[in-house]
Amino acid sequence: MLGLGVNISRAVAPSSGGQRVLIASYDFNDDTGGNTSQQQSTTFPTGWAKADSGNFTLFGSTTDFDLSGNQNLRGWMFGFSQTGSGSTGPIGGHAGGSDTLDSVITSGVSDNSSSHRYLFNECSTPMNPGTSSDPRATIIRTGELDFSSYSSIEMTFWFHCFGESFGSGGGFGIAATTSATSASSAVEAGSGLGFTSYTAGGATMNFTDLSSTSKSLVRIGSEGQVQTDGGSGTDGVNNRWIKATVDLSAAAGESSVYIHFAGIANPALNGFKQDFGVDSIAIIGTT
C-alpha cells in the first residue's frame, strides 16, 4: 500500500518513452508506527530506517548525533497531533495527501487526529546533553528506490518549520545517495545530491512560503522559521503545511538510491524549538 511507503518502482514496469510513473508515495496514514502515541512511535513505515547511534554518516567523517539511551524517544519520530514540545512543530499531519499521476495537491490544511500521521524531528533530547554549540544532526531515510528506468525524477513533499530557534544554524536537508547509511557527497547518487557540511550540499528544495515569496534552499529553516504558528495553536493561514519540489534527475539511471532526510539543529538560544515535520511525499519519474 502506498501509505506504508512501499517501493513500487520495481512493481510497475515503465512503458514507452515519456511515460510518467509513480515511483513511490508516502502519506503515512496506513501505518500506526507501532504505537498510538504521537510522541513515542518506535516503528517506522516499511523500508524506512532511522539513525540514532552515530551509525549514519552525514558528511566526511561526521556522523549523526548519538541519542544514547533515548533513540526511541527523540530525534526522528512518527506520529500524529502536535509534537511533544511547546511553541514548535505543527498541530497535526498534512490532510491533503500526496500527489498522484492524476492529481496535484494544493491544500496545506492540518489535521491533528490519529488518522493523519507524519514524520517529525523532535529536537528536545538532541539539544539537552552537554553545552557544546556544535550542530546536532539526526537522519531518517527511505527504503531502496530504483531510478534506473527514468530520465527525470521529481519529488514533492509537504513540510512544517515552526520554532524561534530555526535560523541559528543548520535546518532541514535532503540527500540522495547510493548508501543505506550515508548521506555524504562521497556516495551521492548524482552531482550535488550529497551533503558536504552541516549547511552545504544536498538537493535544492523549491517552495513558495506563506507570504507568496519563492525560495530555493538546501536547508529549510536556515533563514529562520517558515510558518509562524503551530504547536498547540489552531489551524490557520500561518500554520498551514507548505509544499516543496525537489529535482532528483541527477540520480536518474541509478538502480539503488536512498533518500536521506536530515534535521540539523543548533543548541544555541532555545535549541529545542526546531521541530520539523515532513508529510505527503511523492516521487514521480519520467521514462
197: β partners: none
Q: How many CB atoms lie within 10 A of CB 134?
A: 12
What domain count does the chain have? 1
Round the average pLDDT of the chain to a whole number and report it: 85
Place of cell 500506526: 32
Domain of 15, in residue numbers: 2-286
The pLDDT assigned to 7 comes to 43
**Interval 19-53: pLDDT, tens:** 999 999 999 876 555 555 545 565 778 889 998 88
Cα distances (angstroms) measured from residue 156 to each of 95, 132, 214: 15, 35, 15
Model pLDDT, residue 8: 46
CB atoms inside a 10 Å sphere around CB 48: 22
pLDDT of residue 3: 43
Q: What's the rounded Cα separation, in Å, for the pair 56 and 218?
A: 20
Which residues on neighbouring strands pair with residue 243, listed in sequence order?
158
Q: Residue by residue, what is the 3-state secondary structure of the chain? A: CHHHCCCCCCCCCCCCCCCEEEEEEECCCCCCCCCCCCCCCCCCCCCCEEECCCCCEEECCEECCCCHHHCCCCEEEEECCCCCCCCCCCCCEECCCCCCCCCCCCCCCEECCCCCCEEEEECHHHHCCCCCCCCEEEEEECCCECCCCCCEEEEEEEEEECCCCCCCCCEEEEEEECCCCECEHHHECCCCCCECCCCCECCCEEEECCCCCEEEECCECCCCCCCCCCCCCCCCCCCCCEEEEEECHHHCCCCCEEEEEEEEECCCCCCCCCCEEEEEEEEEEEC
Per-residue pLDDT tens listing for the chain (287 residues): 344 444 444 334 444 568 999 999 999 876 555 555 545 565 778 889 998 888 999 999 999 988 766 555 578 888 888 887 778 999 999 999 999 999 999 999 999 888 888 999 888 766 655 556 678 899 999 999 999 999 999 999 999 999 988 987 789 999 999 999 999 999 999 999 999 999 999 999 999 999 999 999 999 999 999 999 987 667 788 999 999 999 999 999 999 999 999 999 877 655 678 899 999 999 999 99
* Pairwise CA distance, residues 94 & 54, whole Å: 30
For residue 166 the three cell numbers come to: 530555526
In angstroms, the CA 52 to CA 75 distance is: 7
**Which ranges of the chain does DSSP label H, i.e. alpha helix?**
124-127
Q: What pLDDT was estimated at residue 127?
A: 61
pLDDT tens sequence across 150-177 = 999 999 999 999 998 898 778 999 999 9
Q: Percentage of residues in the chain with pLDDT exceeding 70?
A: 82
**Could you count the other beta carbons within 10 Å of the beta carbon of residue 216?**
10
Q: Check residue 123 and give its pLDDT.
A: 81
